[in-house]
Amino acid sequence: MKKLPLHEWHVAHGGKMGEFAGHEMPLYYSKPLEEHQQVRSRGGLFDITHMGQFQLTGEKAGDMLAHALPNDVLGMTDGQALYSPLCKPDGGVLDDLIIYRQGKDRFFIIVNGDTLEKDLAWLTGLAGMFNCQLDNLTPQRCLFAVQGPQVFSLLAPHLGVNPASLGYFRFAETTLFGQLVFLARTGYTGEPGVEISLNRDGAQQVWESMATTLTLPPIGLVARDTLRLEAALPLYGHELDESHTPWESGIGWTVKLGKTPPFIGQESLTEQLAKGALEQLAGLEIMGRGIPRAGYPVLASGKPVGVVTSGGHAPTLDKPIALARISAEWAAVGQEVQVEIRGKPVEARVVRLPFYKNPAIRK
């Protein structure tokens, strides 16, 4: 397994380490429930350096991304971020990523750690077709997330820009504790926050300054997963994969079929939309006793109609919840189904997503 640049810091501060995306990552430092509640109530620090960071440059960089992605890249302005799936010709999802437009010929890209090598090969091939340059910055950069309702006020005195003034899914290149950083108002918790990319040389100084000066605790992957589940944010390999399209994965809103030029997978996605997706991603609230987990069958009248993609106990809501890919006819809000938990059917109900939403996230 690869080790994060701050590996020794995490171990020294009580991080219980485990494997994720080929890296030895901190799963938790204290109690995952307390870490979850800390982020919901105040804020916390996440080391997400396992994720991939690319730089795309070239006169036709925007055109290349418009061809690669179903979302509207050409409609972006400088300083804007955009979430989009990366699709195959059959519409299956290779990855979900965030694009940041630094200029009409310059884009920063963050991809998932599990799919880094696959994405790099796929995008490098497309970049060559458009005479662009794709550079893998991952070995030279760190990536941190600072998430929680109080982090803007805590960070503001130490930044060259007020993060609250950026606007949701906007970014700036500024300074933090004397280091140049790429600061984006994005995140994976359902709370206001930022993600910070910076050179590895100054990364530990910035991390330690945030932990001590801002008194923000480090948060592990276990709490990160329960936070993103409550916010109904998809995880690649669970809600998203190459066998399912955005229509079947809860992110159909990212597909702009009417945009030009044509994008990879457009024909297949158009056909599927016309026919109607056979499966949809739904939110389930478990009515009986038991904790749903990924892979558990979803039943209706005793017959399989889908499968749980992610599930667990939601600390903020104090109830078991799940995301599940189920037959479209059973996906309507209010529909009653069952989840087979340890061999027994447990009553569940389809509910509106997300399970949890902080209205301040976009303010």
CA distance 183 to 159: 10
Q: Which two tokens stand for residue 347?
A: 């009553």
- Residue 363's pLDDT band (cuts 50, 70, 90): confident
Work out the percent of the chain whose per-residue pLDDT is above 70.
100
In tens, the pLDDT along 55-113 reads 999 999 999 999 999 999 999 999 999 999 999 999 999 999 999 999 999 999 999 99
pLDDT (mean) for 292-311: 97
Domain boundaries, the chain: 1-231, 278-360
Q: Which two tokens stand for residue 263?
A: 């994008």
In tens, the pLDDT along 327-344 reads 999 999 999 999 999 999
| CA 189 centroid distance within chain | 9
Pick the CATH number of 278-360 from 2.170.16.10, 2.40.37.10, 2.40.30.110, 3.40.50.300: 2.40.30.110
Instruction: Using a cut of 0.85, tell me whether the model's pTM lies above it.
Output: yes
What are the E-state strand segments in 79-227?
A: 81-87, 93-103, 106-111, 133-136, 141-147, 171-176, 179-184, 193-199
CA distance 340 to 337: 10
CATH code assigned to 1-231? 3.30.1360.120
pLDDT of res. 258: 87
In tens, the pLDDT along 60-76 reads 999 999 999 999 999 99
pLDDT (mean) for 178-185: 98
In tens, the pLDDT along 162-175 reads 999 999 999 999 99
- Residue 260's pLDDT band (cuts 50, 70, 90): confident
pLDDT (mean) for 188-203: 98
The CA distances from residue 17 to 48, 67, 216, 225, in Å, are: 14, 39, 20, 15
Residue 161 gets which letter from DSSP?
S
